[in-house]
Amino acid sequence: MVNYRREYILGSTVFLTITLKNRQSDWLCRYINELRNAIQTARQRSPFDLIAICVLPEHLHIVMQLPTNEGNFSHRVRLIKSLFSQRLAKKLALHPNTRGEYEIWQRRFWEHTIKNEEDLQRCVDYVHFNPVKHGLVTQVKDWPFSSFHRAVKEGRLAENWGSENVKTLGDWGE
């Protein structure tokens, strides 16, 4: 088995993909309030800035900026997974396995440490465009579970962004 080591850089910005174990599930969208609450609680316990997020039925993408004195994004992913699992277990009367886990999430997650402003913009664009990529909607503005709407409200993106002339958004598979 490969001994994978993640790169932890103080104050880093990271692009994360976190996926449910059951790839046919729609729990992240169906139980969006539980997920929002889990993310909010995780941010209170271990602060981070949420630069971009998009929640799809069975996976989510997050671009987070860590505090300048911290670099442990894995802890924050663990918190989000754990808090959502606990809330879902109560709601659906799920039972843990012998290790005390609810087996809702894939064990690992994908991460990419953002290198510069261009990389950041490409990752944020990828996050916002993801529902279109997966065929869930034909226009970015039609997907409700995305920070795209916040970017439009703040004047950083036009409402029709992603409808045409989309640049290469990266090919990270999810």
Hey, what domains does the chain have and what are their CATH numbers?
13-153 (3.30.70.1290)
On average, the pLDDT of the chain sits at 93
Q: Which has more confidence, 7 or 131?
A: 131
Backbone angles phi, psi at 19, to 5 degrees: -130, 140
Q: What is the largest CA-CA distance in the chain?
A: 51
Whole-model pTM: value is 0.91
| pLDDT, position 163 | 84
Lowest mean pLDDT among 2-6, 45-49, 112-116: 2-6
Strand-pair partners of 20: 105
pLDDT tens-digit readout, 23-74:
999 999 999 999 999 999 999 999 999 999 999 999 999 999 999 999 999 9
At residue 103 the predicted structure's pLDDT band, cuts being 50, 70 and 90, is: very high
At residue 165 the predicted structure's pLDDT band, cuts being 50, 70 and 90, is: low
Evaluate whether 89 touches 102 at the Cβ level (below 8 Å).
yes
At residue 138 the predicted structure's pLDDT band, cuts being 50, 70 and 90, is: very high
